[in-house]
Amino acid sequence: METKKIGSLDATVVGLGCNNFGRRCDEDETRVVVDAALDAGVTFFDTADIYGGTKSEEFLGRILQGRRDRVVLATKFGMDVAPDKRGADPAYVHRAARDSLARLQTDHIDLYQLHQPDPNVPIGDTLAAMNELVQDGLVREIGCSNFSATQQRDAAEAVAEGAAHFVSVQNELSLLERSDERDGLKGAREVGLAYIPYFPLASGVLTGKYRRGERPRPGTRLASYNEKVSDREFDLVDAYTAFAQERGRSLLELAIGWLLSLEPVASVITGATKSEQIQTNAAASTWRLTDDEVAAVAAIGR
């Protein structure tokens, strides 16, 4: 599979989002998904300390034994793991990293990301602590998540000379949630960050498996979160589906291909609970839209 750069890292253009592990997938089911990802050539794995109540990292730590060198492993910190385990205070940055390293059973994290801004801690202090992790060889690259363009610029300006800086930002972006095009994506382009979109399939809505007027099937993401798809979203799905079919493509291929046609998107993080989902997502990674097609898609979403 094609790779793109996230700092010094070579990330596959389709990544595996690991937020289902420990929540919707037990360890055996997680192993099946991980095996399928590696078989399909997907080697960029993105998890976080909060996923599955830390079980996502624990499962990956055990499952990747003996093949850790085959993956680019990303994790995140900063959201509430426990009342005394949250935020971006420098002391906690070190504690969170050690905890994740232990759960992942590895001696280094390839991409360590601040999961969300911490308004109580100056970003320069957090960056200094993350730089220490890089200098100690515990982390290769650092990134951020859920950062606006302004927050990205503030972080870039707060980096000490010669110190590690954010190389990526991971924000929500999909054909159904495009607001970050005008903010975080634009900021990443200006600051020079690799952009990693999460929820690219809008909780599965952009796979075409949900139907207007039908309740989500038990076990699906929408059913588990008790969410509904609006008529406006179904109208967009219909229009995007027609656009894709006119070009001999599927809605899923459009959802992933459109993202990969935007600069500076590096890897599209897709979740999976079954091996066949991995195969389908990986196969959808080859379409790159022309400038005219990107403009036509933008017109649909207006």
Q: Which of 173, 184, 191 is nearest to 258 (CA)?
A: 173
Judge whether 92 counts as a catalytic residue: no
Q: Which of 51, 198, 210, 240 is catalytic?
A: 51
The 8-class DSSP code of residue 220 comes to S
User: What does the DSSP assignment read for 163-205?
Assistant: S--EEEEEEE-BTTB-GGGGTHHHHHHHHT-EEEEESTTTTTG
* Termini Cα distance of the chain: 33
Q: What is the rounded distance in angstroms from the CA atom of residue 67 to the CA atom of residue 81?
A: 27
Q: Where would I find the H helices in 105-144?
A: 123-135
Alpha-carbon separation of residue 124 from 16, 158, 163, 177, 190 (angstroms): 30, 5, 11, 30, 20
Could you tell me which of 80, 73, 140 has the C-alpha nearest to residue 105?
A: 73
Half-sphere exposure (Cβ direction) of 98: Cα atoms closer than 13 Å? 10
Q: Which residues pair with 6 in a beta bridge?
A: 9
Burial 160-188 (b: 16+ CB within 10 A, else e): eeebbbbbbbbbbbbbbebebeebbbebb
Alpha carbons 110 and 64: distance in angstroms, whole number: 14
Q: Write phi, then psi, for 114 (nearest 5 degrees).
A: -75, 120
SS3 158: helix
Residue 149, classed as helix, strand or coil, is: helix
Q: Which two tokens stand for residue 74?
A: 């990303």
As a whole number of angstroms, the distance between CA 105 and CA 109 comes to 10
Catalytic (active-site) positions: 51
